[in-house]
Amino acid sequence: INAEYGETTTCAMQASRLTIPMIRARMVGGINTPTRMAGGIAVVGANVIDMIAYVPRFPRPGETVHGESFQQGFGGKGANQAVAAARLGSSVEMVSSVGNDSNGRGTISNFQENGVGVGMVFTSEDQSTGVAPITVDEAGSNSIVIVMGANNYLKPAHMEQARETIRNSRLLLCQLEIDMETTLAALRIANQEGVESILNTAPAREEIPAELLEVADIVCPNQPELSLLTGGMPTDTVDQAAAAAHELLRRGPSTVLCTLGKEGCLLVKSDGSEFRAKATHHVPTDTAGAGDCFLGAFAHFYSQGAMEMEQAILLANKASGLSVTRRGTQLSFPFISELEIDSEP
């Protein structure tokens, strides 16, 4: 999902030199926090506590494998994407739910330390904060089990409470980890309020309401998800993925951004244009959260309004490429000062 350079069919861009406004960092509580840029991102999604075990290989059914190390951190696709964007300098508001427990309080503190707003993070008295046991092998591949817990407390009525937060944002970012009707309610509000939206169709679902694709502006699947969304169209090759993306466009969104694993990613627009960003050659240490880093970074760069979508993709892939060289999920996400980007005052 990481890109080093891109190629396009019906639009031209200069990929060799990317320019963005200067972002100056400040230190808050030991964290290199960038000064927040104008315009904001609302993220509606899940948060969980990641419990990561590093092993030489995945255990077979019924087998016990000794792990090499263990790390606990903060995760959930929505939370990850929010933190990724905030670390790069976006003003981000999280809409989510935690349990009334130590993990929930820690999650809220983590958001605050990373510069993510928590005014719309609700608390469930009946459910514990979500957890995600993760196993990572020596090649950096991972397997994940998610127990959603308090995330299931987040309902469409909460989206109405968050309407002003969505209205005041430049971009809404959603995934499919929480209740489907809640995600749909958030996307409807963004549509009503004239706020551009991104729908990350992960984790994969066999069936989703057709309206989700109709109200989302940018849909971001990976190849298996793209196949599911198009009724089983093949997506194994880049050409097949492009054909499926064009089919998906006919179902509502104006843009499809498909991640292609080691092949990079593919952008297809309703005007017929295609742009492919090829993969970098980072040797992965830990791929957990890499896709979330990419989408959070893409949302950050795109929401600033100072560059084309293709440029935002290239910069997002720089961030994601750096993240896979580090262990941890949110801990691996870079700050803007760590990216090699040409900038201007």
H or E segment and range at residue 193: helix 180-193
User: Phi then psi for 49, rounded to 5 degrees?
Assistant: -95, 120
Among candidate residues 50, 217, 286, 292, the one labeled active-site is 292
Which DSSP letter does residue 334 get? Answer: P
Asked if 292 is an active-site residue, the reply is: yes
Other Cβ atoms within 10 Å of 335 Cβ, number:
18
In sequence order, the β-bridge partners of residue 143 are: 135
- Strand arrangement of the beta sheet that strand 142-144 belongs to: 69-75, 48-54, 130-136, 142-144
Which DSSP letter does residue 257 get? Answer: E
Q: How far is CA 64 from the centre of its chain?
A: 32
Say if residues 216 and 209 touch (Cβ distance below 8 Å): no
> Under 8 Å CB-to-CB from 166, ≥6 apart: which residues?
42, 44, 95, 159, 172, 186, 189, 190, 193, 195
Say if residues 134 and 80 touch (Cβ distance below 8 Å): no
Comparing CA positions, the residue from 116, 77, 118, 144 lying closest to residue 295 is 77
Catalytic amino acids?
A: 292
